[in-house]
Structure 1
């Protein structure tokens, strides 16, 4: 039987996390690295226990009729657990972001000033059917000296509960107090609501999931929010695009893993390019079973195209469906992205460097690509070890949020009796 908010003290968990964070902040980089490596070991060792719990969540998902994209995010395998573990080891090898002196100077009166990176404190992580977030967020939080409170969705509660149990067993063999990782074992929305207002114990909330979850946190929380965003990502194939590059990038961005936020959802294609290369494009789309929702021009050139509606331009399909918008200029492409984009990841394929530079200046997004797939908007792919989410806002952190994004600063002054 699921535990409810009625018999769980979220506030006490938050207090415990805050206390543990103080202890965690005193540990050396080596002590934190050793702890992360231990967690990687125990996750690999106990993978079977985690998979058994995941079977329960998958069966519940099937009974509820969850779609393919949802089930993909929910599914764990031995290989995926090994990837989680490797991610922790990768994070352990990264530079510790805390204690870094961003700048220092001395005033005329001799007072020495330092701007130093420090942990955010206690992070509240609210997420949906993504058990990998439980591990990734924990690893990044601990390495950056933060305690974390995990509130996963009800669809993955069995998997998450066992993963955190394994993490706690691992932490008991390290210098990090296990209270630095808290898991809210509840399917009751009241537990999430409690996190929204605990400013005295929680320093920041990070929502990760669909648009409804993110907006619920942003609109209702009094705790500061590091906003992550959904990914209605576009690929603009300019008239000067190389055919092979364009097709390879389109297919990779759409089909490599369709259910993730950095997957391609809309291709914006120059009409002249489409007229000249329609046969190659059609062959590629057929080979990968991509269903097109397109405007009138796309319907004319690509057999089987479904007439696109207004909702198609804004839709995050998370499947092998793809919207195609045809344009005659860079300005048309930029206007379409401005209207429907989510400021996540946008790409252009062109051999014209001036056009590419202009595209990157005009388009407002966290990640921009010239002749490359949007699938690289990922902490691991960009060398961060892992990520806690993709920020689409402009304050504090933007884009894939790795270790540096989980720090803030202190100004530390050293004097010799100076007064003002």
Structure 2
């Protein structure tokens, strides 16, 4: 479809009606047909990888012209390995147990009523995301697995890539005899389409925003449709005095530098004052790797190459080779800092002291808490979910990685034998 459409509301209503109809078919589609559609989509991604790469080259050029940062361009780029990973992710989702119809609980009442609580699709899921085109495959695949239709609105930078990936998903759906309208995308860059999505209560059951604070804040303020919020990833790593030196140094370097442009990248390092010696070695590792450390005065004294932090550095998502660093008084100092500046995404504690780890886990309420592991593992694929739509940081319905199971609701099946309530 042409990127310029005059009547956005009419276009979105058409997409919404088609999605609602497709959701009705998907809700009772067999596990085998959904599996076939996902495997077919994976094969189509590989068959069309040249076309996907060509489309991505157009997006990369567009991104450079817009002046995107290196981190954002990295998010946008689809290498051969990343295209293969997309296909592998679709196969992983296909291999998961079908969540629809799974029995969650069952019991019998004294009056003989047999009650079961079973998983059921949500219906139509709207996903609004920014520059990462692989979300097109992840979101489309997970929604399909859970029996939901999907309406996807990717970032303007990934317009061509997302379109090419969607064609592959459509090929998989068609080959499996499922409606191609089960996974659709908004075919225009016009932001009016986003505003329209947020009001489509007749067609969309839930919106999943995946992006920075600006996007998520807009969706939360303006949406009339329920929202699973994926807020920014202000991930903290706390280096405790009882940390194992080699483990800690490896984990911190990976957490910051493996990929700086993802939401699981560490953005703030908190160092126990009792671990100043190890902290100095860790800071040296980071600077040697090319990371700019924005430090409190004590950190700057430990590492003279650090730059003084300002108030905006605490609670800041850099998505780049930058990290904030502060000295704290033990685990309670780290907890206090995270409670004040965190985004409830992912926090890690590096310690061999079980009591310290237990206190960290007990007193913090982020969606993901880790011990002696890189925050870069904050990912649905790494959790065994095949893929994810995002990391939900709210507390209702879905929390943490949103995979196929989290994209279902439930219903009660009640069976009697002429049972009456007299």
Residues in 2 aligned to 1:146 and 1:359: alpha-carbon distance in whole angstroms: 37
Counterpart secondary structure, 1:9: helix
**Deviations for 1:292-329, whole angstroms, at most 9, x for unmatched residues?**
10001001110111110010011101111111110122
How far residue 186 of structure 1 moved from its aligned partner, in angstroms, is: 1.0
Q: How does 1:206-217 map to 2 (within 5 A)?
A: 206-217=208-219
How far residue 166 of structure 1 moved from its aligned partner, in angstroms, is: 2.5
TM-score (norm 1): 0.97
Alpha carbons 2:284, 2:303 under 8 Å: kept:
no
Structure 2 counterpart of 1:201:
203
TM-score (norm 2): 0.97
Structure 1 counterpart of 2:366:
365
Alpha carbons 1:253, 1:263 under 8 Å: kept:
yes
Residues in 1 aligned to 2:28 and 2:419: alpha-carbon distance in whole angstroms: 29
Q: How does 1:333-412 map to 2 (within 5 A)?
A: 333-412=334-413
Residues in 2 aligned to 1:388 and 1:281: alpha-carbon distance in whole angstroms: 33
Alpha carbons 1:4, 1:187 under 8 Å: kept:
no
How far residue 282 of structure 1 moved from its aligned partner, in angstroms, is: 4.3
How far residue 6 of structure 1 moved from its aligned partner, in angstroms, is: 2.3
Corresponding position: 1:331 with 2:332? yes
Structure 1 counterpart of 2:269:
267
Structure 2 counterpart of 1:320:
321
**Deviations for 1:62-103, whole angstroms, at most 9, x for unmatched residues?**
111110111011111221111101001111111111101111
In structure 1, stretches of 5+ residues that fail to align are none
Alpha carbons 1:5, 1:188 under 8 Å: kept:
no
Counterpart secondary structure, 1:268: strand
How far residue 49 of structure 1 moved from its aligned partner, in angstroms, is: 0.7
Residues in 2 aligned to 1:83 and 1:34: alpha-carbon distance in whole angstroms: 18
Corresponding position: 1:189 with 2:181? no
Residues in 2 aligned to 1:286 and 1:187: alpha-carbon distance in whole angstroms: 39
**2:140 paired residue among 138, 145, 152:** 138
CA 1:24/1:291 → structure 2, altered by over 3 Å: closer, same or farther? same
How far residue 280 of structure 1 moved from its aligned partner, in angstroms, is: 2.5
Structure 1 counterpart of 2:414:
413
Alpha carbons 2:346, 2:369 under 8 Å: kept:
yes
Counterpart secondary structure, 1:216: helix
How far residue 289 of structure 1 moved from its aligned partner, in angstroms, is: 1.0
How far residue 5 of structure 1 moved from its aligned partner, in angstroms, is: 5.4
**Deviations for 1:39-58, whole angstroms, at most 9, x for unmatched residues?**
00011000111111111111
Counterpart secondary structure, 2:360: helix
C-alpha RMSD of matched pairs (Å)? 1.3
How far residue 106 of structure 1 moved from its aligned partner, in angstroms, is: 2.0
Alpha carbons 2:271, 2:279 under 8 Å: kept:
no
**Deviations for 1:226-260, whole angstroms, at most 9, x for unmatched residues?**
11111111111111112111111110100011110
The total of aligned residue pairs comes to: 419
CA 1:127/1:282 → structure 2, altered by over 3 Å: closer, same or farther? closer
How far residue 210 of structure 1 moved from its aligned partner, in angstroms, is: 0.8
In structure 2, stretches of 5+ residues that fail to align are none
